[in-house]
């Protein structure tokens, strides 16, 4: 791993995110479109790029349990245990906080939050940005999810403000995250496995 290249790409991505613009980047699962989770303007741009209905919420990546708590109105009391037991990236659907861009929340006021535990690029971007990072697959609504960079529609590549160069040659295939709703009793309802 070239640490200087990793840091340079993270810095370039954060510079664009701070301008309330959209990046195309490798997430801890698949290739995604991202923006600052507190910027309504940038979230609007993602919906336009994806040609996606605004009532279909996006996931937000967070750096750690503290950032999770910043964006969740209700934090599962067993969150540390849930994170420790994860065998793959998992998104937790919880009531969203007012710090998030309002157009990022689902109609019922929830948001999907995922603590990035393994991916060094995403972790570095999150730490430097200091905000949650929107994560939605880099495709038009209804089209296949790109697991690797070469599967991203070239038209979409041209429409974003910045394309991250990190892992563009990586052929490792990942699947989208597992998505679970956190219930009032702390239990989990699997929405996508």
- The sign one gets for the Cα dihedral 96, 98, 99, 105 is positive
> Residue 68: its pLDDT value, please?
98
Domain ranges for the chain, please list them: 3-192
DSSP letter at 76 equals -
* Residue of 147, 153, 133, 138 whose CA lies nearest to 43: 133
SS3 for 51?
Answer: coil
Which CATH fold topology does 3-192 show?
A: DHBP synthase (3.90.870)
- Angle of helix 120-129 versus helix 3-18 axis, rounded to 10: 40
Does residue 9 surpass a pLDDT of 80?
A: yes
Residue range 59-103, pLDDT digits in tens: 999 999 999 999 999 899 899 999 999 999 999 999 999 999 999
Q: Do 132 and 116 meet the contact criterion of CB atoms below 8 Å apart?
A: no
Compute the average pLDDT of residues 42-57: 91
Residue range 130-141, pLDDT digits in tens: 999 999 999 999
Does residue 1 surpass a pLDDT of 70?
A: no
């Amino acid at each position: 791993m070239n640490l200087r290249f990793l840091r340079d790409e993270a810095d370039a991505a954060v510079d664009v995110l701070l301008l309330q613009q959209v990046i195309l980047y490798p997430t801890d699962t698949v290739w995604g479109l991202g923006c600052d989770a507190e910027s309504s303007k940038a979230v609007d741009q993602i919906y336009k790029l994806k040609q996606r209905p605004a009532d279909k919420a996006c996931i937000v990546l967070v750096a750690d349990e503290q950032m999770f708590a910043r964006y969740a109105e209700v934090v599962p009391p067993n969150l540390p245990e849930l994170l420790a037991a994860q065998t793959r990236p998992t998104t937790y659907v919880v009531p969203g906080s007012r710090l998030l861009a309002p157009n990022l929340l689902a109609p019922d006021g929830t948001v999907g939050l995922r603590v990035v535990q393994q991916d060094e690029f995403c972790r570095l971007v999150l730490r430097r940005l200091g905000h949650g990072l929107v994560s939605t697959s880099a495709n038009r609504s209804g089209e296949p999810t790109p697991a690797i960079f070469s599967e991203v529609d070239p038209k979409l590549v041209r429409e974003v403000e910045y394309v991250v160069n990190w892992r563009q040659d990586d052929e490792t295939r990942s699947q989208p995250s597992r998505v679970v709703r956190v219930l009032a009793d702390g239990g989990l309802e699997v929405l996508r496995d």
